[in-house]
Amino acid sequence: MVVYEIENLKTNDCYIGITTNKLSVRITNHLNCHSKSGFSGFQKRTLMYEDFKHYGVDNFMLKILYQGKSKKQILAFESTVKSQDKYLKYSIRDILKDTSKKHNLKAVCLIDSKGKKSFFKSPSEVTKKFRCSRTNIIKAIKDRYLFKREYIAFYVSNQEATNQINLF
């Protein structure tokens, strides 16, 4: 089992991944997803694949960060490393998986393609700023697609939002 990193050499954004298969098989999967014409539905919404297309795969570098024998070891290592800001942009789908109603999620976080975060008290505040319908922002959060073709939108806890600098 391997924890690996794919770094965008132009932006220094990184993706961190785990594979139980051979690393070459997993990397081939990443590259095949990129090379499909038009991108399939899942990859269309994944920023790393958009950056593959924009910067070219030659501007990405693969690193093996950790090799372990047990899933527990691998997951422990990944969770300690993944909190670094350089992993935020490409790992946003995992953050989205971790958010649920049971965590009192009401505030909205938008992250642009450069990784800049903006926080809003509610979807209604997003609609005022971007002059869009509330339905559009809720749909972007629920269906996990790029809002206004630039922002990843997701719910965060009110506590997390209030801890951010320049919030509200």
pLDDT for the residue 132:
86
pLDDT for the residue 104:
47
Per-residue confidence at 45, pLDDT binned at 50, 70, 90?
A: very low
96-134 tens-digit pLDDT: 444 444 444 578 888 887 888 888 888 888 888 888 888
Domain ranges for the chain:
2-92, 99-162
pTM over 0.85: no
Is a pLDDT exceeding 80 seen at residue 77?
yes
SS3 106: strand
> What CATH number was assigned to the domain covering residues 2-92?
3.40.1440.10
SS3 28: helix
100 vs 57: which has the higher pLDDT:
57
Per-residue confidence at 61, pLDDT binned at 50, 70, 90?
A: very high
160 vs 130: which has the higher pLDDT:
130
pLDDT for the residue 37:
45
The CATH class of 99-162 is: mainly alpha
**Count of Cβ atoms closer than 10 Å to residue 84 Cβ:** 11
- The first and second tokens of residue 155, run together, are 């719910």
SS3 151: strand
Q: Share the mean pLDDT of the chain.
A: 76
Read off the amino acid at residue 96. L
pLDDT for the residue 163:
60
Is a pLDDT exceeding 90 seen at residue 59?
yes
